[in-house]
Structure 1
């Protein structure tokens, strides 16, 4: 099974991408546990597929290292999280 990790997948473009790829299996990553839970419920309701969530802040190096430290197979990574305000 192909697995896609979408960083910034709890909302916006990342969530839209997750909706397209959910049948292949997705892991959505974001900072807000509540937003991730809502997105996961919506994705599971919308289609068949495996949805996982991971809480991480990509502005923190240790969070990024932890994302890829496990044994989860990741075939593709999409990053839609961005701090356009520069803060």
Structure 2
């Protein structure tokens, strides 16, 4: 079942996806067949670790990513339910 988003959630997701780095992070993680480690995502960018952490936190706070702590590492996976609900919301604007 696809979740229904309220306007605040849509706003938060839209803001999170409004940054080109975050879009690229989502793209990298979405193409992976399994969870992606933080170091794998960071390797794709020339950003300070604190900046990368900020971008990942924005995506997690918007419920677009699910973070799973594995020892000292974090692994990420796309929250498909929330992404599908967001896509449904956007599609509803076109009807």
Normalised by the length of structure 1, the TM-score is 0.30
Q: Decide which structure has greater strand share.
A: 1
Q: Which has the larger radius of gyration?
A: 2
Normalised by the length of structure 2, the TM-score is 0.28
Q: Decide which structure has greater helix share.
A: 2
